[in-house]
Amino acid sequence: MRRALIVTLTVVAALAGGGALTLWIAGTSTQATIDAFSVQVGEVARDALLAAPDGETVAALPAPVRRYLAYTFPDGVPMTPPPLARITLEGQFRRPLTDSFHPMTARQTAATGTPAFVFWGTTTMAPGVWALAYDAFVDGQMEMKAEVLSALTVMEESSSPALDRISLRRWLLESPLFPPALLPGGPVRWEPIDDSRARAVVSAHGMEAAMVAVFAPNGRLLRFEAEEDGDLTTPYHGSGEVAARDDDRLVAGMRIPHAFSIARAAGGQEHPFWVGTVTGIAFE
């Protein structure tokens, strides 16, 4: 709270000194960066078109994954699945290394046939003080940044082997929102575990990341879980280690979960940090 108060006083002083124009320019620059990433994601998405799997390929999948495809695509997989998803979300967000939640609205543009996305959201820090953060992953490289009032950078990370792999897993964790990503023949392969679980392994740009999918008997994908603990001391949440989903609704011939809880996990405990709903989703 003390830090938020200091930030508030700093902003008030900046505005009094004519800083409103500076903040507006900074915010415009940040949004231009996000828009550029969104264009890049669209370009790589259309260069990585998927095709509907044949019956033999589907028959070779683990049993819970076959049920998932039948449940998610009730009228069958389209011959050319959509390459791009644009998603809007809202809910409550907990910033890294803090305990309290604050309202957040967010957007995401994601490719379905190749791991690429840009996610950006705005969250309240204190009355009159808000933060804008974005994560982008294109061509195997990530970039993330968080700014107070789109002007004061409080976190910035760029491509590294560890963070690029985290972003690859982030795309996989989010993929139930754009189910063509999980079709066989794309960047994800499925490994059997038991009748209610299967391991999803995504490969791209010389990297791999995996999560365990937990399915309901009817094929609904309930959760994605990492198989290793997270590092809860980082200044970013990264992908998180657990994603639970609910409230499936039919969108463009696919059952898409609209309720979610994303959590860090370590030592047998889960620590949610982004809980909310999908408010809109469109496929292109």
pLDDT at 28: 64
Rounded to whole angstroms, the Cα distance separating 72 from 182 reads: 11
The H or E element spanning position 250 is strand 242-251
* pLDDT less than 70: residues of the chain: 1-28, 150-151
Q: What is the pLDDT of residues 14-32, one digit of tens each?
A: 433 444 444 444 456 888 9
> Looking at this protein, which amino acid is placed at residue 198?
A
pLDDT of residue 17: 44
Q: What residues contact residue 149 under an 8 Å CB cut-off, 6+ apart?
A: 11, 23, 26, 27, 129, 130, 131, 132
Are the C-beta atoms of residues 109 and 38 closer than 8 Å to each other? yes
Q: Which among 219, 222, 280 is positioned nearest to 246, based on CA atoms?
A: 222
Q: What is the model's pLDDT at position 251?
A: 98
pTM: 0.89
Residue 256 forms beta bridges with which residues? Answer: 249
Say if residues 124 and 133 touch (Cβ distance below 8 Å): no
Q: Which residues contact 187 (CB under 8 A, 6 or more apart)?
A: 113, 114, 115, 181, 202, 203, 204
